[in-house]
Structure 1
Amino acid sequence: MENVTGMTKTKKTHRPLSWQRVLPWVIPVLIILAWQAAVSAGWLNSNLLPSPLAVLQDGVKLAASGELMKNVSISLFRALTGFAIGGSIGFILGMANGLSKVSRALFDSTIQMLRNIPHLSLIPLVIILLGIGEGAKISLVAVGVMFPVYINTYHGITRVDPELIEMGKAYGLSKRQLLAKVIFPGALPTILVGIRYALGVMWTTLIVAETISSSSGIGYMATNAQEFMNMDTVLLCILMYALLGKASDLIAKALEDICLGWQQTGRSEG
């Protein structure tokens, strides 16, 4: 009886997980199948909107020539470098302003004013200051990423339950121990939300940055293909951005599961 019960519980636990893996892909697959069927039936003009099969064939051709991987790797370098720089600055400022009233009074008001300026409107200024090279593209990504990370880090630090902090002090924790064992773990869920949101901003910013005077990257491929009305490559570039964005989101979710596993354990025990 115990074994049967254990097996039943295991099945109940694993079934939802398998459905959770399958369901997110149902709508995209249905859209692709409907798209392919519409082009094959002649309902859509294949010159204006090529079929998914044609896009896939174009991707295989570009991958075989090495052009696709070269441009994808360049875009990844720009995105990750900008994210590392902007995310680090946003995290440090968020921690500093969240923990120190002096730092908050000195920096927060200025940061909030800058945050309300659309970062893509800075493109002309960035080009004047940095030109059209790699520095300009990476800087735009860094600026776009910095503010979501800053806001969520600052919010997470300042919203930690004061009673937990007082309890930590009562147990004799030093400031460093209080930060490591109480404040940072309490703020971590909000910080990770900021990172996940910033990853989306990262790709949105890069798309725009790479369409401006670029000679490499996915955005350059799309712009170059547009000039020659090569819709296969244009749609392939859009698909690559979508897949890279989805991969970033999956990594962020996995990071949340790893870092916040203690919360799930606590809830299941409760």
Structure 2
Amino acid sequence: MSAPLRRTVEGGAGWVLPVLLLVGWEAAARLGEIPPTILPAPSDVAAALWKLTVSGDIFKHIGVSAWRALVGFAIGGAIGFALGLANGISGISRAASDTTLQMVRNIPHLALIPLVILWFGIDEEAKLFLVALGVFFPIYINTLHGIRTVDPQLIEMGRIYGMSRLELFARVILPGALPSIFVGLRYALGIMWLTLIVAETISASSGLGYMAMQAREFLLIDVVVLSILIYALLGKLADSAARLLERAFLTWHPAFQPQ
């Protein structure tokens, strides 16, 4: 079996279980095993999706949530990546900041929501701050780990071949750290959506979390379930994008060679 065909089959196989769960869920709901007030049938959720699509509300809420997620990720990810590089390369930088960062890392960032609301209100800054804080540490820790665990023999070999510091970083250190960095990226993407869900259900006037909370107030369980499923699909889409980046940047790595 060719590599592209094998990847297609493997990707399709991953959707078998979700489809079976949906079929079983629909059957149980139609047979009355699951009350609609507890969990509506997938067909009812699909009908809610169609209604919100026709009205255009679903696109507005998805757009707002995606904007918050991406901007918060860009801010927190950029800072985490920069500090991870600095602390991985420089012992002075690591000694000056890593202890403080490790102390802050052990504070659950979602526990800061009441304080963040006092600081920023319920405007966009509060959501962006929480998302940025949530994604910062996975990227920082994994970038630092990746830099620190690059094979020192490869670094020494680069020096022997006369590489400058910039060449050594670009051709040896950064490529060697990329597998760990991508682990942090994928983990941070999950934290990004988790943080946004909580932030939008507590302090928001738009977005998927706000849509879910409004639906809960009016006992629209199908819309609540729809919001959860959209979050899950967006999370899967983000993870798939990260995996494509892995394949693009790690073609030299044995784990990403076509079989």
2 CA distance for matches of 1:80 and 1:268?
31
Partner of 1:201: 191
The Cα shift of 1:214 comes to 1.3
The Cα shift of 1:154 comes to 0.3
Alignment-mate amino acid for residue 46 of structure 1: P
2 CA distance for matches of 1:107 and 1:125?
24
SS in 2 for 1:211: helix
The Cα shift of 1:14 comes to 5.0
2 CA distance for matches of 1:266 and 1:111?
32
Q: Deviations over 1:150-172 (max 9, x none)?
A: 00000000100000000000000
State the TM-score, normalized to the length of structure 2: 0.97
Alignment-mate amino acid for residue 148 of structure 2: T
Partner of 1:222: 212
State the TM-score, normalized to the length of structure 1: 0.93
Q: Pick from 228, 235, 240: which aligns with 2:225?
A: 235
The Cα shift of 1:69 comes to 0.3
Which residues of structure 1 form unaligned runs of 5+?
1-10
**Which segment drifts farther, 67-76 or 117-126?**
117-126
Q: Deviations over 1:121-172 (max 9, x none)?
A: 1111111111111000010000000000000000000100000000000000
1:132 equivalent to 2:122? Answer yes
1 CA distance for matches of 2:150 and 2:237?
31
Alignment-mate amino acid for residue 27 of structure 2: A
SS in 2 for 1:37: helix
Q: Percent identical across equivalent pairs?
A: 54
Partner of 1:164: 154
Alignment-mate amino acid for residue 8 of structure 2: S
Q: Pick from 74, 77, 92: which aligns with 1:102?
A: 92
1:56 equivalent to 2:28? Answer no
Partner of 1:8: none
Q: Pick from 75, 78, 90: which aligns with 2:80?
A: 90
Partner of 1:262: 252
Q: Pick from 183, 194, 204: which aligns with 2:173?
A: 183
2 CA distance for matches of 1:219 and 1:233?
11
Please identify the structure whose Cα radius of gyration is greater. 1
1 CA distance for matches of 2:178 and 2:147?
8
RMSD of aligned residue pairs (Cα, Å): 1.5
Which residues of structure 2 form unaligned runs of 5+?
none
1 CA distance for matches of 2:172 and 2:5?
35
Contact 2:250-2:256 at 8 Å conserved across structures: no
